[in-house]
Structure 1
Amino acid sequence: MLLVVAGCGGTAEPKTTPLPSPPAPAGLERFYDQSVRWGDCDGFGDPEDRLPPSAECAKVTVPVDYAKPDGATAQIALSRIPASGDRIGSLLLNPGGPGGSGLSMVSIAGRGELAERFDRVGFDPRGIGSSTPTISCLTPQESDAERADPPEDNSPAGIAEMEAENKAYADKCAERTGTEFLAHVGTHEVVQDMDVIRAVLGDPGLNYLGYSYGTRLGSAYAERFPDRVRALVLDGAVDSSQDPVQESLRQAAGFQGVFEAYSAECASKPDCPLGSDPTRAVARFRALVDPLWTTPAATTDPRGLTYDDAITGVRQALYTDELWQVLTMGLDELGKGRGDTLLQLADMYDGRREDGTYRNTDDAFNAIRCVDDPRIADPALAGRQDMEYRKAAPFIDDGRGTGAAPLDLCVSWPVPNTSEPHRISVTGLPKTVVVSTTEDPATPYQAGVDLAQQLGASLITYRGNRHTAALVAGDKCLDDAVVAYLVDLTEPAPGLTC
C-alpha cells in the first residue's frame, strides 16, 4: 500500500464561465458541423475487448489531408457512455501506444462523480482499430514468421540482413496501406481530428485524459489549440523535446530500474528463479534467456518461445507490478525448459489474439513513429546508441554488441516525417495536470517533470512501479485529485505525491 507523502487537498478555483464554441476553420465546415449518429456497438471494437452494454458507438468523418479537405476522407470510430447525472460535457480518452485502440477506455471510472458529470468518450485514432482506412503492413502469417526468425547479431552480415528486412517491411506497408494515408497518420493530423471530435460532441472546450503517447497528443493539442482546452490530464508523459535517441536511452534506464525492483522483490521470496541475491539477478536472467538465441523453448503452442519473444514477454510484465507474479511464473517455467507463460505475455504485447490474428497495434506504432520522429540515418550514431542502450539496460544486453547497429526502420520509410523534437511553448493555456510515476519503465519520471514545466502544469507524483496510474492503479489520493480537477477545475496541491 502506498503512503501519501503530501496532502491530497487543493484550493478550488471558481468555476469558469462556459467558453463560446469556436468557429470551424475555413474550408473545414462540413467536418466540424457534421452530426454524430450514436447507435449500438456491433462491429466496433476488437473482438477480445468487451465494451460495456451501455456503450454507444459512432463514426466521425475527417479529411485524410487537412490541406485537401475535398480529397479522400477517413472515418474515426468513437464509443460513448453518457453522463448519468448533471452533465459538464464529454471527456475524451486515449490509451497511448501509439497504436492503441481507445474504444474500451469508456470503462474507466465507471462509478462516482466522473461518470455522473461526463460523457466518457473513447476513440480509435486514424488508421487504428475500428477507424478506417486501417494501417496494415503484415498478415498474421507474416507476423508469426517474423517473430519465429532467429535473431541477427550486429555483424556486417547481420546488419545487412536486418536492414533488408526493414526495407521489405516498409515496402509492404506502402503497398497495403498506401503512401497517401501513411503520410497523414501522425500526431499532426490526429490532433486536428481531436478538435473535430470536440466540435461534433458539442464541447466548446476539450476535456481530455491521455496516457503515455496520449500525452503527446494532449500536449500537441494544447500547443495548437490552447484556447479550446477546458481540462487536460496527461499521465505517463512523453516529452516532445527529446529526440528519439534520448528517449530510447531514458526508457532503457527505466526498464532496468524496474527490473532491479522486481529482482529485489523476487529475491525476498523462496525459490525465486533469479536467486536470492539481487546483485546477481542480471547474470541469472541472462543464463535463462541466452540459450533461446539458438534453441526456442518448448510450448504447448507449436510456435515455441524464441529469444525475441522472451525479451518481449519480460518487458510486457515490467509495465506494471501487477504482472510480477506472472513474470516469476514465466521465468520459473523457462528454467524448466518451458516457455508458455512468456509466450502469452509476448502475445499480449504484440496484440496477437487467441485465433492467431493480430490487432494492428504494431503496424500502427511503426507507421506513426516514423512520421512523428526524425530518422537516425547516421550509422555511427546508430552504433553508439546501441552500445549506450546496452549499458543502460544490461538485463537485455545479449553480449553481442559490436559498436555497429542496423539503421532504424524509419530510414526506409516511404513518406517523410512531419514533426521534430521541440520544447512546447504556449500562451493562454488554462491550468493542466501532469501525472508522473517515480518508477515508470516506459515513460520515466523526469519526462513528466519536464513536460509539466513546459506546459506550466500542476505535477502529481505517484510512487510506484508501473506505467501510468490515474484512475487505473486504485490509488484514492491520486484519483481524488484528478477527479476534482476534471470536475471542478480544482488544482492539485503543490508538490502532491501519492
Structure 2
Amino acid sequence: MSFSTRRSWMAVGVLLPLITLSACSPPTEQQKTQPARPSAELASFYGQKLAFGPCGDYATTPADAKLFTSGKTFECARLRVPLDYDDPDGKTAQIALLRVPARGASMGSLLLNSGGPGGAGMQFAVLTAGALARSPITERFDLIGFDPRGVGASEPAVDCLTDGELRSGELPYEFIVSAGTYTEADTRRLVERCAERSGGEQALAAIASRDTVRDMDVLRAALGDKQLNFFGQSYGTRIGTLYAEAFPRNVRAMILDGAVEPGLGLADRRLSQYAGFQRSFDQMAADCAKRPDCPLGADPSQATKIFQDSVRPLLKRPVPAGDGRRLSYDDAVNAVIGGLYAREAWPAITAGIAEVRAGRGDKLRQLGEAVSPSDGSGGNFVEANYAIACMDEERLTPRQVDEFEGRIHKVAPFVDSGRGVGGARDGCEFWPAKPKPAYPLPDRIEGVAPTLTISITGDPSTPYDAGVKLAEVLGGKVLAVDGEQHTILSSGKSACVNDIAATYLTTLQTPTGDSRCAL
C-alpha cells in the first residue's frame, strides 16, 4: 500500500527569500491551440452543466460535515462521467466536487489532488483555501477539490470492510510489507468483499488513475475552462503527469509537489520509497541521540537494532494501547513510518518507542490513528488506496513478492521483522480486471505548457531526485526546497514557496535555476 499525504503533521516553514523568476516568454503554438474536441459519444458528458449547491449532504465523515458547513461560500456539485469510457452509453459514475470561489476576479479553476491514492479532494480544497487565505492563488482562482472515482463522496465508492473489521485488522490491505502470513484465501476473500460492497466487479475495474484523468478533462470542460490549471501533491503528481500525457494541449499550468518517480515500476519505486524512510529514520535517530533520554540510544548507528529489539517482541505479545485495544508489531511499524513524513512528528515517534519499551502502546497507537484512522472516521481512504493501486500497478507472483520483501529489508532494515521472507502475497492477485499501468512514464512528454515541480531535499517518501526527473519528463522547471518533510505548498507555511507558486499560476513565469527555498 502506498502511504498517503493526508497527514496531520505540517512542518513550520522558515524561509530563504530567493524568489527569482524567469521572464515571461511569448505563448507557444501549443498554448495558442484550443483543446481537443471530445468525441461525439462523450459530447453530452463534456457539455453538461454543473448544479452547485450547499455542501452539507456531501459529507461522509463527521469531520467533513463540520468542515463543509464552515464556509458560506463553499459550493458542491456532482459530475456525471461514464463508468467505462469504452462504453459511454453504459453505466455512469458521479464525481463529487467542492468549489471555493476566488476571493477576487477569477482567472478560472484550479483543480486539486491531495495524494494517496485515495485522498479526498473536497476536504483538501477547504483546508488549502484556509492555509492560503492571503495568497494570490485563492484571490485569483476558484479552488476545485474533487473526490476521484471510488473515493469519498463520489459514487460508486470503494467499500471493502465494515468499521469493525477495519479496527480489528481481520483482513489487512498490506500483504507484502507485513509480519503476517497470508494465503490465497485471504487475498481472494478481500477482493470478493470489495466487489460485493463497492458496486460489483465492473466498478472495481473502472477505478484506475487513467480513468480519473479522463474525468478531470470532462470536469475541466464542465467548469468552462479551456485549459486546465492543476495542483497535485504526492500521488497527485502521478495523475497530473498522466493528464499531461493524455491531454498535453489542454494544460495551462501545473504544480506538482512531492513528485512520484516517473521512470520506475512498482518494485523499484517502492524500494526507493523505503530507502527514503530509512534515511529519515536515521535522521530522526541522530536528532534523538542529542538528548540523554533518547530511547534509541546515544549512537545513531545502533538505532535500527535498538528499534528492532523494542518492537519485535510485539510479534508474539502485543501491548495494551488504551480503550481495550492492543498495539501489534505491524501497528507500531506503520505508525513510525507515518510519523516520518514530517520532522515535527519525530518527538511523538520517540516518545512512543520509549513507551513500548515500558510495556504500553498508547502513544504509537494514537500516532497511527492520526495518520490513518482505522475506525472509519477517515472516510474510505485505506480502501480506495488499495483498490486504485490494484488497477495502477503491476502484479507480483508469490516468488516475486518474496524477493521484493527481501530487498525492502536490505534498504530499510528498521522494518525487518526478523522472520525472513515468505507468507506475504500481492493483495491484488485476484482483482477482477487487468491493471492499466500508470508507470513507468515516457522519458519525455511533448507539447505541454511549462510546469513547476516542487521537490524537498529531505522528503522521506518521494526523493528529491524524483522531482528533478519529473521536471525533465515534462520539460518544466523544478523548485528545490531544503527541509525534512513530504510536500509543502498546501500547508501555506513557506512564503518563499507560496510566492513562487502564485507568480507561476497567475503569470506563467517559472523560477530560474538559482531559485531555492528552505523550511
Question: Is 1:148–1:306's contact at 8 Å kept on the other side of the alignment?
Answer: no
* Contact residue 135 and residue 502 of structure 2 kept, 8 A: no
Partner amino acid, structure 1, of 2:307? F
Corresponding residue number in structure 2 for 1:205: 227
Distance in 1 between residues matched to 2:180 and 2:327, nearest whole Å: 21
**Aligned equivalent of 2:437, options 419, 440, 459:** 419
Taking the TM superposition and a 5 Å limit, the aligned residue runs for 1:270-419 are 270-353=292-375, 359-377=379-397, 379-402=398-421, 404=422, 406-419=424-437
Once residues 177 and 137 of structure 2 are traced to their aligned partners in structure 1, the CA distance between those partners, rounded to angstroms, is 51
The 8 Å contact of residues 18 and 204 in structure 1, kept in 2 or not, is answered as: no
- Contact 1:351/1:361 (8 A) holds in 2: no
Letter aligned with residue 455 of structure 2? S
Between the aligned partners of 2:331 and 2:216, the Cα distance in structure 1 is: 35
Separation in structure 1 between the aligned mates of residue 424 and residue 383 of structure 2, nearest angstrom: 19
Secondary structure (helix, strand or coil) at the match of 1:300 reads coil
Aligned to 1:244: 266
Structure 1 Cα separation of the partners of residues 112 and 180 of structure 2:
42
Matched, 1:126 2:146: no
1:138 and 2:161 matched: yes
Query: Structure 2 stretches of 5 or more lacking a match?
Result: 1-11
SS where residue 110 of structure 2 aligns? Answer: strand
CA shift at 1:374, angstroms? 1.3
Give the distance between the partners of 2:293 and 2:224, measured in 1 at CA. 57
1:47-126 mapped onto 2 (5 Å cutoff): 47-49=62-64, 50-51=67-68, 52-53=70-71, 54-106=73-125, 107-108=127-128, 109-126=132-149
**Counterpart amino acid of 2:283?**
A
TM-score, with length taken from structure 1: 0.93
In the alignment, which residue of structure 2 is the partner of 1:172?
A: 193
The answer to whether the 8 A contact 1:191-1:217 is kept is yes
Residue 42 (structure 1) aligned with residue 56 (structure 2): yes
Which is worse superposed, 165-174 or 139-148? 139-148
- Aligned-partner Cα distance in 1 for 2:175–2:108: 52
CA contact (8 A) 2:115 2:234 kept: yes
Give 1:440-479 correspondences, 5 Å limit. 440-472=459-491, 474-479=493-498
CA separation in 2, counterparts of 1:162 and 1:450?
A: 38
Q: 4+ residue stretches of structure 1 with deviation over 4 A? A: 1-6, 14-22, 151-155
Q: Structure 1 residue 227: deviation in Å?
A: 0.5
Structure 1 stretches lacking a partner, 5+ long? none
CA distance in 2, matches of 1:430, 1:313: 40
- CA deviation vs aligned residue, 1:286-332 (integer Å, no higher than 9, x gap): 12211111111112221211111111111111111121222222222
Match of 1:23 in 2: 37
CA distance change for structure 1 residues 288 and 47 in 2, over 3 Å: closer, same or farther?
same
Offset, 1:209: 0.3
Residues 17 and 496 of structure 2 are in contact (CA less than 8 Å); yes or no, is this contact kept in structure 1?
no
Partner of 2:18: 7
Opposite residue 408 of structure 1, the aligned amino acid is D
- Give the aligned partner of residue 3 of structure 2: none
Given candidates 32, 41, 62, the residue that maps to 2:46 is 32
Aligned counterparts of 1:84 and 1:6: Cα–Cα separation in 2: 26
Using the alignment, how far apart are the partners of 2:103 and 2:144 within structure 1?
14
Counterpart residue identity of residue 42, structure 1: G
Choose from 191, 213, 216 the match for 1:194. Answer: 216
Mark the CA change 1:154 to 1:23 in structure 2 (over 3 Å): closer, same or farther.
closer
Contact 1:137 1:363 (C-alpha < 8 Å) held by counterparts? yes
User: 1:336: Cα distance to partner?
Assistant: 2.1
Spell out, residue by residue over 1:100-138, the C-alpha distance to the aligned partner (whole angstroms, 9 max, x if none).
101122231122211110001101001100111111111
Deviation at 1:162, TM superposition (A): 4.0
Opposite residue 86 of structure 1, the aligned amino acid is: A
1:14 Cα deviation after fit: 5.0
Secondary structure of 1:27 counterpart: helix
TM-superposed CA distance for 1:153, in Å, is: 11
Report if the CA contact (8 A) 1:301-1:340 is conserved: no
Higher relative contact order (CA 8 A, sep 6+): 2
CA distance in 1, matches of 2:261, 2:33: 29
Q: Percent identity?
A: 40
User: How far is 1:230 from its partner?
Assistant: 0.4
Residue-by-residue CA offset, 1:11-40 (whole Å, 9 max, x unaligned):
231575876465333211111111111111
Instruction: Name the stretch that deviates more: 340-349 or 248-257.
Output: 340-349
Which 10-residue stretch deviates more, 107-116 or 328-337? Answer: 328-337
CA-based RMSD: 2.5
Deviation at 1:265, TM superposition (A): 1.0
Q: Distance in 1 between matches of 2:24 and 2:40?
A: 35
How many residues are aligned here? Answer: 491
Per the alignment, in what secondary structure is the counterpart of residue 410 of structure 1? Answer: coil
Deviates more, 1:282-291 or 1:415-424: 415-424
Q: Offset of 1:426 from its aligned partner?
A: 2.3
Q: For 1:72 and 1:306, how far apart are their aligned partners in 2?
A: 42
| Maintained 8 Å contact 1:147/1:308 | no
Q: 1:295 to 1:153 in 2, by over 3 A?
A: farther
| CA distance in 2: counterparts of 1:61 and 1:216, whole angstroms | 23
Deviation at 1:144, TM superposition (A): 2.1
Return the alpha-carbon distance in structure 2 between the equivalents of residues 342 and 438 of structure 1: 27
**Is 37-46 or 4-13 further displaced after alignment?**
4-13
